[in-house]
Amino acid sequence: MGAKLLSALLPVTCGFLGVLFSNLPVTLFGGLVPPPMLGFIPVYFWCLVRPDLMPPSAAFAIGILQDVMSGGPPGIWTLSFVVSYAVIQRQRDAFAGLAGVAAVLGFATAMLIVCATAYFTTAAYYWHMAPLGPIVGELAISVLFYIPGAFVIGSLHRRLVGPLRSDF
């Protein structure tokens, strides 16, 4: 019972921890390198492999925490996460079938949707187009961090969560 509960809570917990880590108010390299969007990696990963453990409401909750922690306008990241979740869910077979570099490109596509949604929502919010540099930097660094992130999450998934039994 305890192990089952742990495996059920693990994806959302990883999302929350990712948000907390990536929003620590600590900058390395003088703020030149933006923090990666670690909270979105579990959303993407478990939306593909175990959507029963990463429902839209979980993506919504992780997005809200990202909004609270990042200090930006309320709702921007929540909307971005949910929009990207919707796209991933519709194209799940295509995304989940990717491996190696293609899997990283798949995450890059999902992250591009997140960043584009956040960028245009913020532009509408302030009625002003923000410079593209910071959001492109955020996209690049998040994709870079997906490689170790997916490795860690994959290990956790194999050890603690596992595939859905009904799929066998």
Partner 1 sequence: MTNNSWKIARRSNAQLPLVIVLALAVVLVLLGKAQLGLFDRARMRITDWMAPALESVHAPIQAFNRWVSSADELLVVYRENLELKDENARLKQWRNVAVVMQDRVRHYQEMLHAVPDPDINSVLARVIGRASRPFLQTMILDAGESRAVKPGEAVVDARGMIGRIYLAGDHTSWVILLTDLNSRIPVTIASASGKAASLQAIMTGDNTAMPLLDTLQQVVTLHPGDQVVSSGDGGLLPPGLPIGTVVQDAGGYRVALLADPASSEDVEVLGFRKPAEAPPSASPNQLPAVAAGLPPAAPPQPAPVPGSAPAAPAKAVVTPLPQMPRPAGNISAQAQVPRANIPAAGGNE
Residues 87-146, interacting with partner 1 (CB under 8 A): 89, 92-93, 96-100, 103-104, 115, 118-119, 121-122, 125-126, 128, 130-131, 133-135, 137-138
69 is an interface residue for partner 1 by CB under 8 A: yes
Q: In the block, which residue shows the tokens 């910071």? A: 134
Pick from 9, 84, 4: nearest CA to 48? 84
Which tokens belong to 55?
């429902």
Q: How far is the CB of 148 from partner 1 (least distance, A)?
A: 11
Applying CB under 8 A, which of residues 12, 14, 41, 48 lies at the interface with partner 1? 48
Q: Are 64 and 78 in contact (CB under 8 A)?
A: yes
Q: Which residue has the tokens 């990883």?
A: 14
Near partner 1 by CB under 8 A: residue from 7, 70, 112, 156: 70
Q: Are 47 and 62 in contact (CB under 8 A)?
A: no
Return the C-alpha torsion angle 98, 100, 66, 84, nearest 10: -20
Q: Does 56 bind partner 1 (CB under 8 A)?
A: yes
**Does 63 contact partner 1 by CB under 8 A?**
yes
The yes or no reply on residue 19 touching partner 1 (CB under 8 A) is: no
CB of 166 to partner 1, least distance (A): 8
